[in-house]
């Protein structure tokens, strides 16, 4: 007689779910380190055979599509939770940076894959809303004299995105840590043209209000 657990799952089904989770976790790590990581590399990192990998994902592309969808959901939820209708451009960008930092692994993986494979529609579609929002905030800040206007907003947004990726990669790879993202957000605002002291105060104010809202 076949046994089941408290949720009615058979041992085979439990093993399959465990293997899938291991493959996804190994893929996130492997693709962050090398966006061109192969199926063999990912399967070895997950501790499964190639046959097991293909039993869950018919191709490497299918795996990446699953990860992209998962990361996109987390990013959209993070940005939606951070957004406030009364925020000025500097506060709005600060909230975006802090939200991206909070889901740093997913953000870092998506940006790295998107830059390595710029033709992938899934990456563009997943990141497009955040990029459009950043450009809109930069344009508004440039009109109001909050941000530097030596570059068009879309170009400045791309440069700031590259800066964010570099900071996220350094945070993951070296002893320097920025658990809350305050240093990253301050650096982001300074690069956008905000004076360092004003940038630091803006970030501290946003962090304080976020914590107060969470405590309430």
Kindly state the DSSP code that residue 193 receives in the 8-state scheme: T
Nearest residue to 160 via CA among 137, 143, 178: 137
pLDDT score of 169 more than 70: yes
pLDDT band, residue 119 (cuts 50/70/90): low
pLDDT score of 161 more than 70: yes
| Pairwise CA distance, residues 62 & 44, whole Å | 18
pTM score: 0.74
pLDDT score of 115 more than 70: no
Considering the chain, what is the average pLDDT of its residues?
83
pLDDT digits (tens, 9 = 90+) for 121-154: 666 777 778 888 899 999 999 999 999 999 999 9
| Pairwise CA distance, residues 169 & 171, whole Å | 5
For residues 168 and 101, the answer to whether their CB atoms sit within 8 Å is yes
Helix-helix angle 196-215:89-102, to 10 degrees: 60
Nearest residue to 50 via CA among 85, 83, 29, 23: 23
Torsion angle, alpha carbons of 137, 140, 146, 149, to 10: 100
Which is more confident, 35 or 24?
24
Nearest residue to 89 via CA among 136, 127, 132, 129: 136
């Amino acid at each position: 007689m076949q046994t089941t657990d408290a949720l009615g799952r058979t041992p085979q089904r439990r093993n399959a779910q465990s293997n899938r989770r291991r493959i996804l976790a190994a893929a996130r790590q492997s693709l962050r380190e090398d966006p061109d990581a192969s199926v063999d590399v990912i399967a070895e990192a997950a501790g499964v055979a190639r046959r097991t990998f293909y039993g869950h994902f018919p191709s490497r592309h299918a795996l990446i599509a699953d990860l992209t969808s998962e990361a996109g959901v987390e990013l959209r939820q993070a940005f939606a939770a951070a957004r406030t209708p009364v925020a000025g451009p500097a506060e709005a960008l600060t909230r975006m940076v802090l939200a991206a930092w909070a889901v740093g692994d997913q953000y870092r993986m998506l940006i790295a894959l998107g830059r390595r494979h710029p033709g992938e529609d899934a990456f563009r579609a997943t990141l497009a809303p955040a990029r459009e929002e950043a450009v809109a905030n930069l344009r508004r800040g440039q009109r109001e004299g909050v941000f530097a206007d030596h570059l068009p907003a879309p170009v400045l947004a791309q440069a700031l995105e590259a800066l964010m990726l570099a900071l996220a990669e350094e945070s993951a790879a070296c002893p320097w840590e920025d658990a809350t993202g305050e240093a990253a957000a301050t650096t982001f605002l300074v690069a956008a043209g905000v004076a360092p002291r004003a940038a630091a105060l803006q970030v501290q104010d946003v962090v304080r209000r976020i914590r107060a809202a969470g405590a309430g």
